[in-house]
């Protein structure tokens, strides 16, 4: 019989030496690979293999750096006392809105360096971004974090280290991200002006999340609102403004500029870029979703070796 679920999923895939591999980190790795393959299949963009790898690297690094920096911003008082933990991404702590900001910055850098039309590139990455975010939410759920308010709905979940059965808001958000994809596919088939697909994604992602996050417990606030809701409002306004601008701006979808023949890529350039991208994909596997000091506290009983190493500050309990 369908009823409330007690969460007891082990968030660790396995251990290599003393390094733990996390399901949450795997969601990033799969998302990055999906983005790379999606761009590589888009021959209409006119990107060489080297450019595709550069775009994948800049997107992936931007996502990781942006996600971490926004988490640091949310918990700035803590990190002001422990600045040595700011780069310790392998101890957990990523913010979804930061993933968007960082990914945007990485793609923008690519467009500026290669003089590519940014609207076209952002459109091409709208669906892969929705996939990355959906995978990330599944990873959040497996790691047993991001809980909603206590509820009696039949699909309620009792998460680790929390009291009572709660709304699985993280699954609500993941499903929302997946449902955005068919909408974007319909828009793409209509041949709308460049930039509208990306603007629609940003608006739908943030606007729909405003309602989902009403069921979520937020530990931090920003401008008098739950921190995530403040960012949701910001992105909703930006997405709506970009949509309005797209409808007011006349013109058809543009094509990518600066096309070069495939043989313009050098073998050495391809090899070292492929190695860098592979390193980023593999590095993501060691990222847990829980923030700050909570990873050893929550999962140390399952994995006794899951503790802070001596090179890090011992945080008071």
Tens-digit pLDDT profile for residues 285-298: 999 876 554 555 66
Task: Mention every residue, 6+ apart, whose C-beta is less than 8 A from residue 304.
Answer: none
pLDDT computed for residue 8 by the predictor:
86
Q: Looking at residue 50, what is its pLDDT?
A: 93
pLDDT at 310: 33
pLDDT at res. 311: 32
Q: Is 20 strand, coil or helix? A: strand
238 vs 235: CA distance, rounded Å: 5
Is 230 or 134 the better-scoring residue by pLDDT?
Answer: 134
134 or 259, higher pLDDT: 134
Question: Residue 182's pLDDT is what?
Answer: 96
Give the count of beta carbons closer than 10 Å to the beta carbon of residue 58: 20
**Which pLDDT does position 231 carry in this prediction?**
83
140-166 core/surface letters (b: 16 or more CB in 10 A; e: else): bbbbbbbbbeebeeeebbbbbebeebb
Look at residue 192 and tell me whether its pLDDT is greater than 60: yes
**Average pLDDT, stretch 92-99?**
84
| Residue 201, H or E segment | helix 196-212
pLDDT attached to residue 293: 47
Contact between residue 136 and residue 24 where contact means Cβ atoms under 8 Å apart:
yes
Nearest to 60 by CA among 72, 71, 68: 68
Give the pTM. 0.82
Residue 307 has what pLDDT? 57
């Amino acid at each position: 019989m369908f009823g409330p679920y007690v969460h007891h999923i082990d968030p660790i895939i396995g251990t290599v030496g003393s390094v733990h591999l996390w399901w949450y980190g795997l969601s990033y790795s799969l998302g990055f690979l999906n983005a790379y393959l999606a761009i590589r299949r888009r021959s209409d963009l006119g990107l060489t293999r080297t450019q595709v790898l550069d775009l994948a690297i800049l997107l992936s690094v931007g996502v990781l750096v942006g996600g971490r920096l926004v988490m640091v911003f949310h918990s700035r008082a803590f990190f002001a006392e422990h600045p040595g933990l700011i780069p310790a991404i392998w101890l957990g702590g990523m913010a979804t809105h930061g993933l968007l900001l960082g990914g945007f910055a990485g793609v923008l850098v690519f467009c500026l360096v290669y003089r590519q039309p940014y609207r076209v590139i952002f459109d091409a990455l709208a669906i892969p971004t929705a996939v990355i975010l959906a995978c990330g939410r599944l990873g959040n759920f497996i790691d047993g974090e991001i809980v909603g308010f206590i509820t009696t709905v039949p699909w309620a979940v009792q998460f680790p280290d929390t009291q009572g059965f709660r709304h699985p808001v993280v699954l609500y958000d993941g499903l929302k991200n997946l449902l955005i994809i068919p909408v974007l596919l319909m828009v793409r088939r209509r041949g709308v002006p460049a930039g509208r697909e990306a603007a629609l994604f940003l608006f739908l992602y943030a606007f729909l999340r405003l309602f989902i996050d009403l069921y979520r417990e937020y530990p931090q606030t920003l401008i008098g609102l739950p921190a995530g809701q403040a960012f949701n409002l910001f992105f909703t306004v930006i997405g709506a403004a970009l949509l309005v601008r797209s409808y007011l701006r006349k013109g058809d979808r543009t094509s990518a500029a600066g096309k070069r023949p495939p043989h313009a890529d050098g073998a050495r350039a391809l090899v070292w870029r492929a190695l860098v991208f592979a390193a980023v994909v593999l590095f993501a596997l060691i990222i847990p979703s829980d923030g700050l000091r909570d990873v050893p506290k929550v999962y140390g009983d399952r994995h006794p070796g899951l503790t802070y190493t001596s090179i890090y500050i011992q945080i008071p309990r």
